[in-house]
Every structure is written in structure tokens, then in C-alpha cells.
Chain A
Amino acid sequence: KNEVEQSPQNLTAQEGEFITINCSYSVGISALHWLQQHPGGGIVSLFMLSSGKKKHGRLIATINIQEKHSSLHITASHPRDSAVYICAVRPPAYSGAGSYQLTFGKGTKLSVIP
């Protein structure tokens, strides 16, 4: 079973700062997801990555398959970015039914101060 580690666990930043959240996993995957959970509790899917880099607005996600590592970057951070960011990985497609099963990191709690 994959072990997913996120760092840091908690992060406090000043508004406008560049933020990086890291995710490492132990065995090969078919895809990695970055999720955002706001204080109200709802979970939103931000990115799904199997290689390279994706960008959406001020958010950038990268993945290095060889190093089993992904990063989520937030440029020009804003208080509304305050949330818990969760990394989740999917097993390879040859896992059959198991390839749908996500393994989650414990999350990174981000607080952006005005």
C-alpha cells in the first residue's frame, strides 16, 4: 500500500507570499490528485496529474514520477487560499479495481494572513 507524506503539516504565510506544499509517495502510481478542503468542510478537486505540470490561475502543480514527488505552488497568496490541501494518489491501472482506490496524505493546513 502506498505511503503518502505531505509537508509541511501547517503553514502560515503573509498575503502575497509564494507558497509550496510538498507530497511524496512510496510506490508507483497512475495519477496524483490535489484537493482543497475549506473550513466549511467541503472538498474540491484542484488538479489531477500523471506527469509534468498543470496551471490554473494562481495555482501550479508539478509531479516528478521518477522521484515520486509532487508540489503544489500558490503564487501571490490571498487569505481566501486558507484551507487544508490534500494530496491523494491512485495505484497503477494494472491494479484492476484497486486502481480507483485513493490513498490520501494527512493534509497541509494553510493560513494566509492579510
Chain B
Amino acid sequence: LAKTTQPISMDSYEGQEVNITCSHNNIATNDYITWYQQFPSQGPRFIIQGYKTKVTNEVASLFIPADRKSSTLSLPRVSLSDTAVYYCLVGDNYGGATNKLIFGTGTLLAVQP
């Protein structure tokens, strides 16, 4: 079972752009890539979802290269309130036999003043 891996932690300062990557080598053809944000003692919250190339919404951008084996969540101008754990979520390919949902290992983003 291929893992969906992320850096354990990242540090940033207020106002900076932050890019968090996720590696998902065995992504299935029909799988979407979704990113979630989780604060302590809360459930994960949806940020953005994409299939390929680039997706942008009011809070983030998602960059997906042509081979889709990785993805990058980009947070523009982070603030202290963006300090949280960020997870990617993708399907895992067992040769098409089974649908799976695999969360990444999570990246703790710490934003400092």
C-alpha cells in the first residue's frame, strides 16, 4: 500500500505565502485530490479540491502536475489563524479492484508574528 506523504511540519511568518506538498505516487485515474485543515479538537475542514493543473478559490490554490503523483497546496499571505494541521486526501489504486480513500500524514503549519 503506497503511502500519501507530507512534510511533518513547516514554519512561516505572517504575510508570507506557504506551499505544502503531498506525494501520492499511486493515485488512481479517477481520483480527486482534496486538502483539509484541522484545528485542535475539531474535525477537518475542506479547503480545496482538484483533479489536474491548477485550481484556485478564495482561500487557497492547488497545483497538480501532469503526472498527478504530487500536489501542492498554496496559502497566500498566511495569518496566525492559519496555524493548523493540513492534510491531503486522495484515492489509492489497487489496480482498480477497490475504491480507497487515503489521508496524507499531515503537515503542522506554525505561523509566527
On whether the two chains bind one another, the answer is: no
The residues of B with any CB-CB pair to A shorter than 8 Å are: none
Q: Which residues of A contact B (CB under 8 A)?
A: none
